[in-house]
Amino acid sequence: MLDTRTFLRSQGLPAEDVGSPPASPKRFPDGAQYRVEIPSTEGPEVLDAVLAEAAERDVPVHRISQGSGAMLLTDGELARMADTAGRARVELSLFARPQAGWHTGAMVAAPAGGLVAAQARGTEQLVHVLEDVRRSAEAGVRSVLVTDLGVLSVAARMRERGELPADMRFKSSVQMALSNPASVALAERIGADTYNVPTDLSIGQLASIRAATDLPLDVYVESPDDLGGFVRHYEIAEIVRVAAPVYVKFGLRNAPDIYPSGSHLTSTAIALGRERVRRARIGLDMLHRYMPQATTSELPTRDLAVPHGEPVTSETAGELR
């Protein structure tokens, strides 16, 4: 194994998972170590409820993400979510859909078929996903979740060539499932702006990925049941210490799978969104208890992918505070 480990070092990659991980010296552009993400915010009513709960519980929410995709929002709902997030100066990241798991192929129903569920299937579905990215951008949204490396690479080239806004951000979904330093570094090279690691990585594995990339890592502190159902609140301080810059992400165990969501599930989605914020309050209290020196970003924050991409000036920052 020595030769392989030596070669990995020559490529700027860690040669082994770190046993006693060092603290990450990397930070967000404003110097912060962590930010907060609330996922599965499925529609404008849920977004309103999440922001209200966050204000009530004094939870700083930097990013809101959604899983049903822009394709399942009406034009009016898409505009309303973009406007609400823009006024709150939080990042709104919408899933770029569809993928194979929502298509007509049979493999996803096979025992091992989950491996392809998050991939774009054929050229037509590649086009459909990229059209979902375009539609999000046209509504002023500046962050989308992608699951497929091909979608990521093409979308990044579209951004480079002016087909998408220059400030468009690509958030790699947990369903992309890259789990080692070389793979995540590859995602960074082809255009990812932030990477959601698998939910079950150890502290040492997170540290090894951090050593290989400058991307912010999105880490589930609590994950939904279909992603493992892990509750890692007591690890949050170590996650922030070794993985910074990191989005600590609060999913919810013991919750129904509501994808794809819609008005038939609005009341459930609102209740789940509020509880995710409550879980975030618990997690942040743990973080403050065990790592009181941890730093977070004060809102508004210039580098967040806020809808419409409007820069925060000193005048507007004062108004928003």
pLDDT value for 312: 37
Q: Residue 80's pLDDT is what?
A: 96
Beta-bridge partners for 145: 95, 171
248-270: per-residue pLDDT in tens? 999 999 999 999 999 999 999 99
Q: How far apart, in whole angstroms, are the C-alpha atoms of residue 149 and residue 295?
A: 32
pLDDT (0 to 100) of residue 316: 39
User: What pLDDT was estimated at residue 110?
Assistant: 87
Vertex 204, ends 201 and 207: CA angle to 5°?
Answer: 95
Helices (H), 106-255: 122-138, 149-160, 181-189, 203-212, 236-243
Which residue's structure tokens are 């990450």? 24
Closest C-alpha among 169, 177, 174, 122 to residue 150 = 122
Query: Per the confidence metrics, is the pTM higher than 0.95?
Result: no
Contact predicate 312/302, CB 8 Å = yes
Average pLDDT of adjacent 10-residue blocks, the chain of 321 residues = 92 82 96 98 98 98 97 96 97 96 87 87 96 97 97 98 97 96 97 98 95 97 95 96 98 94 96 98 97 97 84 38 30
Q: What pLDDT is attached to residue 315? A: 44
How far apart (Å, rounded) are the C-alpha atoms in residues 26 and 28?
7
**pLDDT tens-digit map of 93-107:** 999 999 999 888 888
**pLDDT value, residue 47:** 98
Quote the pLDDT of residue 18: 67
Nearest to 161 by CA among 172, 171, 149, 153: 153
Residue 149 amino acid letter:
L
Residue carrying structure tokens 């007591």: 234
Alpha helices in 221-265 (DSSP H): 236-243
Pair of tokens at residue 242? 């070794």
Contact 212/182 with Cβ under 8 angstroms? yes
Residue that has been written with the tokens 């406007």 in this structure: 83
Distance CA 60, CA 280 (A): 9
Q: What pLDDT, on the 0 to 100 scale, is given for residue 310?
A: 45
**Predicted local distance difference test score (pLDDT) of residue 149:** 97
What does each C-alpha distance from 231 to 17, 101, 115 come to in angstroms? 22, 26, 24
Phi-psi region of 254 (alpha: psi -120 to 50; beta: other; left: phi over 0): left
Other CB atoms closer than 10 Å to residue 1's CB: what's the count? Answer: 7
Burial letters for 174-186: b for 16+ Cβ neighbours within 10 Å, e otherwise? bbbebebbebbbe
Asked whether the bond before 245 is cis by omega within 30 degrees of 0, the reply is: yes
Amino acid in position 165 = P
Q: What is the pLDDT of residue 321?
A: 30
On whether the CB atoms of residues 136 and 144 are closer than 8 A, the answer is yes
Report the 10 Å Cβ neighbour count for 202: 12
CB 23 within 8 A of CB 241: yes
- How many CB atoms within 10 Å of residue 242? 24
Phi, psi of 36 (to 5 degrees): -115, 135
Is residue 40 within 8 A of residue 66, CB to CB? The reply is yes
Alpha-carbon span 95 to 79, nearest angstrom = 15
